[in-house]
Amino acid sequence: MSTSTYSITRDEIILTALRKLGAVEPGDTAATIDSNIVTNCAQALNLMVKQWMTEGIKLWTVIEYTITPVTNQSEYIIGPSGPDLVADRPLRLIQGVIRNIAVTPYVDTPLQILSKQEYMTLGSKFSTGIANSVYLNPGSTSASVKLFLTPDVATSTNYVIILTCQRPIYDISTATTVPDFPNEWMQALVWGLADQLSLEFGLPINHRQEVMLRAEKYKDQLTSWDVENESTFFQPDSRNFTSFGR
């Protein structure tokens, strides 16, 4: 028995979505559909997936990025072309630690994640020492990671920075590409695409509404399920409090 080998390709998702709309016959295959229709459907599928990336963190896209600090360098560019780290462009910073690799076992110290406003209001951004804070500025093709404090010689020699980030969902670029989603998301992809195409294929409004409701149902179920089970704890930020003498 198997639980992980089933997969569905881009063109199979397109064919299934078109079948939900009644736009193809049950015996049709992806090869028998007009190539222009397949191209348009593939575009709609990729546009939908790109938009879904903004709707909460997809757990399977959470990965770790390791940055080796460089003495007196506070900014590091991460992206497919680097230059500081060649990797997928990080979309969102979830957690960061600075790891002491000069001891055994390694010791991790959490980094304070800064907003842009917090980073911009720092007084001396280029003071050197062991980094205690990090700011991620995502761009269109790469992301900038800024450390505070700026690493000194001891930091660049004895530490690495580990950032837990959300990466983009990969493009669904060819007919045989399996989408960068767990298997349980395939139903949501099919109905989501059907919803995107329903107006384009001129479905009657009652049929479009039924497709839309099913698409929303499957997506909402997966969005609610695709979260961590562990509890989250909140505590006051001590930086917002001022001590007054009596």
> How many Cα atoms sit within 13 Å of 12 on the Cβ side?
10
Spatial strand order of the sheet with 133-138 comes to 85-86, 75-79, 143-148, 133-138, 112-113
pLDDT in tens, 8-50: 999 999 999 999 999 998 888 888 899 999 999 999 999 999 9
| Residues whose CB falls within 8 Å of the CB of residue 80, separated by 6 or more in sequence, listed in order | 86, 87, 88, 89, 141, 142
Regions of the chain short of the pLDDT cut 70: 1-4, 226-246
- Contact status, residue 75 vs residue 144, Cβ threshold 8 Å: yes
Any idea where the domains of the chain sit in the sequence? 10-57+182-225, 60-168
| Residues whose CB falls within 8 Å of the CB of residue 229, separated by 6 or more in sequence, listed in order | none
pLDDT in tens, 215-232: 999 999 988 776 554 554
Using a 10 angstrom Cβ sphere, with 0-12 exposed, 13-18 middle and 19 or more buried, the burial of residue 45 is buried
